[in-house]
Structure 1
Amino acid sequence: MEDIKVLGDREKLVLYAIVKNFILTANPIASNLIAKQHLLSFSSATIRTIMAELEERGYIYQPHTSSGRIPTTAGYRIFVDQMMKKSRLSNEEKEKIRLAVTISAGDYEQIFRESSRILSQLSRQLSVLISPQLDEGIFNRMEISRLGSERLLLVISIKSGMIKTIIVEIDSDVSDQQLDHLKQVLNERLSGLKIKEIRTNFREIVSDLSQDKIGLMHLFIETAGRIFDFSENSDVFVTGTANFMRHPEFTDYQQLSGVVELLENKNIVVHLLEPSESVSDLNVLIGEEINEIKMKNCSIIAARYKIGQVQGTLAVIGPTRMDYPHIIPLVEYMAQTISGSSESNLG
């Protein structure tokens, strides 16, 4: 990408004015509009010349026969990375986010659902929240309860406070005392191990136990792959499709339906929001940078959050014309608040 230092001061000012005005109006920006706003001390003719240079360098383009110009992906990218100044969130916005995260303390599904709703409401865009991938979580404890004479309810908790429940079939002649002993042994052996380690190495972990204990654990040895399979445990919460449909960019039904169809597919959403190799916890993908042709007129602002040792992703999805200076700090603050809340709950 061309560095902004290569642009002269006049080019920077005109590009900034075009991006800011287009975000506000969704209409192509003409030179006379910029001149009338008295934001720049250039004539319309000078602004037209600068716009022609910016167009030649790939930062703006002319749609159809309009006399105005709109930003390209490169234009938005240089605006986001090197020109814009992030807005300050209002106290009301911060309070709504804090309430969404704390009002259902301990009930993570409700926290995720409410956080997605508030993020959509405040951004006026579509929001997505992906619950953490629990495979990397650290085993904390397993509770075992009877469900009748031939079924057990297993509740496995990890140190983040999140849980998985599973029902398994057993022989009816297993006593409560045997189950209590099994629970005690498993909790001692598995404590502090990663879930994926337990799933892969369960047989070896319990191989040195005496024969009578192994007999009780036979079911667990044979079904450890299923019991400790947390790999598909992520839930996806999507909110604000109506916000998406209001944007003029998506008045074309075919284009809108293509995007909505993508976002209704959990696997595609997870793939789109997969953490990049960047060390940054924030990731902004603009237009053609998104690896999906149907999303070429969209942008994604995504951030990672952590609950204990596991992490999830939340994001805002909207048109490339979205209000980056406002939405980026919203996404960051929501991610920080979820992470901070989980730390205080665990602490």
Structure 2
Amino acid sequence: MKAIVISAAGGPEVLRLQERQAPRPGPGEILVDVRVAGVNFFDVGIRRGRLAEVPGMEGTGVVAAVGEGVGEFAPGDRVAWLAIETHAGYAEQIVLPAAQVVAVPDAIDDETAAAVLLQGLTAHHHCTVCHPVQPGDITLVHAAAGGVGLLLTQLIKARGGTVIGLVSRPEKVAVATAAGADHVLISTGEAFVEPVLDLTGGAGVHAVFDGAGGPTFAGSLKVLRTHGTMVFYGPLIGDVPTIAMNEIPRSTRLTYGTLPDHIETREELVGHAAELFGLVEKGELTVRIGGRYPLAEAAKAHADLESRATTGKLLLIP
């Protein structure tokens, strides 16, 4: 069984394809033949800190075997999973607790299921719990042409909100616009502050969804209106933002949204996943695949992701 192993903390070059012993499921676990593995910025943080031996938090595949006590799944079932703490998805096979796995509807292909689960649940958490978007809300979405940004934009629009999307390159404008963004600005650093305030008549936005990191944090606070919400998310790597309580402006709310808080129970995972899959089946949520890479080219996928040149979701195909 082949897997991508992190040989040392560092850049993409530390991701190496190696032969490993095939895993076996224990009680309450299932063995899955991986068909598609998702690539995320969280994986970059795992790689930089060598926080796991094999990265990869999500994917889709086919059940190969089940351990003792597993009754919900059987060999041959198509499944998708989240392995937020255990990782190990960059591989030909993975063993997972059955509680972290959901069935994939027949109408949804493997790539779509792998691309929508983690980032879709993240986007769902941000716009339904961290800041429940109301009709008429004006929002700012950073990295609006990225995996989470594209899904956030669609979910916000479905809830009646207005989206100002930020992208880093001119060629990404059309991608964000196609997802439903009402306005798209090309910006790096804090260059977006004045244009966003102009678009809102100086009032600012009701919510900012910022997964871009430290360089945009202060600017995001500047464009919030009174009682607005700053939803910060993503791996805390690089320049981690800090702020004193008396520096929070205009009685705004600040939250760091993390996915485990959205799926604390199996029932929540299954329910929210079913809602996302249902939106995809009805054509109300579209997943953009930004790149497909053989498993052996995981390092290239990471390099491309970090370059900010990609749009949509990047996938590894074992």
Shared fold (TM-score greater than 0.5)? Answer: no
TM-score by length of 2: 0.23
TM-score by length of 1: 0.22
Higher strand fraction (1 or 2): 2
Higher helix fraction (1 or 2): 1
Greater gyration radius: 1
